[in-house]
Amino acid sequence: MCGIIGYVGKKAASPVLLEGLRRLEYRGYDSSGVAVLGNSTVEVRKKKGKIDEGLAHEIQSRPVNGDVGIGHTRWATHGPPCDENSHPHLDQSEKIAVVHNGVIENFDVLKQRLLKAGHQFHSTTDTEVLAHLIGEHYAKRRSGKSESNTLTLAVCDALREVIGTYGLAVICTEQPDVIVGARRGSPLIIGIGDGENFLASDANAIVAHTQRVVYLNDYDVATVTRARFDVMNLGTDTAKVQISQLEFQAEDSQRGDFEHFMLKEIFEQPRTVENALRGRVDHEGATARFGGLNMSSAELRSIERIVIAASGTSWHAALVGEYLIEEFAHLPVEVEFAHEFCYRNAPLQRDTVLLVLSQSGETADTLAALREAKRRGHRALAIVNVVGSTIARESDGGIYMHAGPEIGVASTKAFVSTLTVLSLLAVHLGRMRMLSAGRAQEILKALEAAPKQIEALLKQNEEIKRIAVKYAQAEDFFFLSRGYNFPIALEGALKLKEISYIHAEGYSAAEMKHGPIALIDSKTPTVFLVPQDSMYDKTMANLAMIRARKGPIIAIATEGDEQIRKVAEDVIYLPKTIEPLNPILASVPLQLFAYHIATARGCDVDKPRNLAKSVTVE
């Protein structure tokens, strides 16, 4: 949700900014822009639309020169996507430029005050108000004794007046060697180079230049020059600054020969599942082991209840987690939408642990849930993909997915990695309670077989494409299943919705008959997940109800099931596994199905309309 980059060094800033923005574009693509410090001026170029359709042409026709600059790619919150609302925004004096990710909640009050003082605004954004506010404070500070840190102090003054969230970068013509960055609620990192430094919303933007980063904390304000960076904190006397080493290379976030990131990430899954399992399977103890849970065995044993909070696709993973933990560990689990958990004041018994799931580790709703549980004195664990993300740093302990950068806006490999990690966690908790060594070994072996089975599934890509193209013009879809695969039906429908814009409903196959079955007709295909598990006969009976109403059926079934061919128009076969691990395998054909329908309809699958990869506002 909005990407920010800042560069101060010896190179021409604009190519560095443009390249960084391309790598951040998955965070938002409503518009993009750069501001570069030239000879006592700040040059701004900004344009509505995706970078290569707007900003890149703009810079080509009107180049900007200078070695200090900031850039932004936008996911609109205040004000519709248009050139005027694009960032960077200037202050009243046009000396200061600001890029911002977040929401300034009291922007209207501040705007009224600034309007009365004679300020003129050119956009409807909250960010322009922030730029003017910084400019107002800068002018006040400058009319006193002008110091090298005047811009930093002006930013601090302005932020003390602000209610809301921000990750921001600021430059000023009168301080031509400085970028000031600040964060509260929206991520921001410093990239440390050699004679050059960077600011960025996430490491993808700068990993081609440096592996050394500092993750800023809330209320940190950073002053970054070519030679150094200083961090202060608005809330405490001293800022905690720790230099971290990135664990991935620029190539990891390249598309390679794949047409889309989403397809690349789907095909990476044999490797990402292996990575999620690596070093965590303990055959000798018939259990799983984790380095970062930060809980003793006694503490883990004393957990009475787990609440899992997450959003979107991660919420679907949470539903599978509920089934897994309740079956393997007999521990009661409740799944909450992160945003509901925060505000509905749900009672939490004493020995309840909150577990949050998040690919990005930056989702504002999920972060708020984590903070709420901690505020109430509960331990909060996290399963996260992005190393060093806010959720990873603020949780009491957790498990990394090790899926590598996920760039496609539709989450695929991170989902399957979350399921893998949840399966391991359920075994770990189960072995401390009632799970037998024999059953645990069976689960662990089935998990270890999953990468090869996913490879086999991926070989069906062409057949899945054929089926997808056949149904690509349908306007409504149902995704149905029961038991462990019910959440996968929800996820399959979400995947299709977000990248193809087709209306799709994920539903319990059993619940259908209580109302939604009224929507079934010969034009409404149903993707039926019907593996040969303990629910098979009942799911088949539900399938017959759809069939009787002439609904076309695409079945996801277990290999060797010949009966299904008689009742489904099309069948995609899954390799055999144990029932609780069916979701790991069943996710893959649904991802490919959604992908091929979306491409057949000419949709931009990596940048679907209205979406952003990481939603850092509530």
Q: Which residues are catalytic?
A: 2, 613
Contact call for residue 55 and ligand M6R (CB under 6 A): no
The site for ligand M6R, by CB under 6 A, has a size of: 16
Contact call for residue 603 and ligand M6R (CB under 6 A): no
Of the two residues 366 and 577, which places its CB atom closer to ligand M6R in the complex?
Answer: 366
Judged by CB under 6 A, the residue of 217, 275, 411, 524 near ligand M6R is: 411
CA-based nearest residue to 414, from 584, 247, 258: 584
- In the complex, least distance from residue 455 CB atom to ligand M6R, rounded to whole angstroms: 23
Contact call for residue 358 and ligand M6R (CB under 6 A): yes
Judged by CB under 6 A, the residue of 360, 558, 582, 599 near ligand M6R is: 360
- In the complex, least distance from residue 570 CB atom to ligand M6R, rounded to whole angstroms: 24
Contact stretch for ligand M6R (CB under 6 A) within 246-254, 265-273, 357-365, 472-480:
357-365
Burial class (CB in 10 A: 0-12, 13-18, 19+), 432: middle
Tokens standing for residue 525: 């295909």
Residue 567's CB: how many other CB atoms inside 10 A? 16
| CA 273 – CA 446 distance, rounded (Å) | 12
Cβ contact 323:484 at 8 Å: yes
| CA 525 – CA 103 distance, rounded (Å) | 41
Contact stretch for ligand M6R (CB under 6 A) within 173-181, 186-194, 283-291, 360-368:
360-368
Burial class (CB in 10 A: 0-12, 13-18, 19+), 540: buried
- CA torsion sign for 399, 583, 288, 428 is positive
- In the complex, least distance from residue 417 CB atom to ligand M6R, rounded to whole angstroms: 11
Judged by CB under 6 A, the residue of 152, 197, 359, 577 near ligand M6R is: 359
Q: What is the dihedral of CA 170, 612, 397, 343, to 10 degrees?
A: 100
Q: Count CA atoms closer than 13 A to 157's CA, side-chain side.
A: 18
| CA 363 – CA 368 distance, rounded (Å) | 9
**Per-residue contact flags (x/-) with ligand M6R for residues 291 to 330, judged by CB under 6 A:** --------------------xxxx----------------
Of the two residues 311 and 395, which places its CB atom closer to ligand M6R in the complex?
Answer: 311
- In the complex, least distance from residue 389 CB atom to ligand M6R, rounded to whole angstroms: 9
How far apart, in Å, are the Cα atoms of 510 and each of 17, 287, 490? 52, 34, 14
Of the two residues 7 and 267, which places its CB atom closer to ligand M6R in the complex?
Answer: 267
DSSP 8-state assignment for residue 88: P
Residues 471-500 that bind ligand M6R (CB under 6 A): 498
- In the complex, least distance from residue 300 CB atom to ligand M6R, rounded to whole angstroms: 24
Contact call for residue 410 and ligand M6R (CB under 6 A): yes
- In the complex, least distance from residue 332 CB atom to ligand M6R, rounded to whole angstroms: 24
DSSP 8-state assignment for residue 571: E
Contact stretch for ligand M6R (CB under 6 A) within 65-73, 114-122, 188-196, 608-616:
608-616
| CA 354 – CA 321 distance, rounded (Å) | 13
- In the complex, least distance from residue 421 CB atom to ligand M6R, rounded to whole angstroms: 13
Contact call for residue 25 and ligand M6R (CB under 6 A): no
Instruction: Summarize the chain as % helix, strand, coil (round to 5).
Output: 40, 20, 40
| CA 122 – CA 135 distance, rounded (Å) | 15
Cβ contact 59:21 at 8 Å: no
**What contacts 156, CB < 8 A, 6 or more positions away?**
221, 232, 234
Beta bridge partners of 328: none
- In the complex, least distance from residue 377 CB atom to ligand M6R, rounded to whole angstroms: 24
**Per-residue contact flags (x/-) with ligand M6R for residues 364 to 393, judged by CB under 6 A:** --x---------------------------
Contact call for residue 587 and ligand M6R (CB under 6 A): no
Contact stretch for ligand M6R (CB under 6 A) within 58-66, 297-305, 358-366, 598-606:
358-366
Contact stretch for ligand M6R (CB under 6 A) within 207-215, 251-259, 356-364, 567-575:
356-364
Contact call for residue 615 and ligand M6R (CB under 6 A): yes
| CA 543 – CA 539 distance, rounded (Å) | 6
- For residues 527-539, b (16+ Cβ closer than 10 Å) or e, as one string? bbbbbbbebbeeb
Of the two residues 128 and 362, which places its CB atom closer to ligand M6R in the complex?
Answer: 362
Amino acid at 368: A
Q: How many residues does the chain have?
A: 618
Judged by CB under 6 A, the residue of 101, 201, 217, 363 near ligand M6R is: 363
Contact call for residue 73 and ligand M6R (CB under 6 A): no
CA angle 438, 452, 270 (to 5 degrees): 110
Contact call for residue 409 and ligand M6R (CB under 6 A): yes
- In the complex, least distance from residue 311 CB atom to ligand M6R, rounded to whole angstroms: 4
- In the complex, least distance from residue 363 CB atom to ligand M6R, rounded to whole angstroms: 3
CA-based nearest residue to 524, from 500, 505, 510: 505
Of the two residues 386 and 554, which places its CB atom closer to ligand M6R in the complex?
Answer: 386
For ligand M6R, the binding residues (CB under 6 A) are: 311-314, 358-360, 363, 366, 409-411, 498, 611, 614-615
